[in-house]
Amino acid sequence: MLDPNRWLAWTQMLGGSLRGMLSWAAQHTGLPVVLIAAIALVGSWHLFRRSLRFAIEIALTATFLLVLAKLGLLRW
């Protein structure tokens, strides 16, 4: 169950498919692979930041509601 080869096997698959997607996009758009990779990296970073911010807001709201419920100020 704790075999490191098994845990890291998905990274090799992901790397191969990522490389294939980048080369496919480069062939069909005419843009260099490096430019497409940079665009994908920046886009994923922005998406990660927004998702993280949303997750933090949800966690804070849930915590606030649970505190209110524990204090008896909120009933379900």
Q: pLDDT by residue (tens digit) across 8-17? A: 665 665 666 7
Q: How far apart are the first and last CA of the chain?
A: 42
How is the chain classified by DSSP, letter by letter? Answer: ---HHHHHHHHHHHHHHHHHHHHHHHHHH---HHHHHHHHHHHHHHHHHHHHHHHHHHHHHHHHHHHHHHTTS---
Q: What is the pLDDT of residue 14?
A: 60
pLDDT band at 62 (very low <50, low <70, confident <90, very high): very high
> Mean of the pLDDT values across residues 32-58?
91
Q: Please tell me whether the overall predicted TM-score, pTM, comes out greater than 0.95 for this model.
A: no
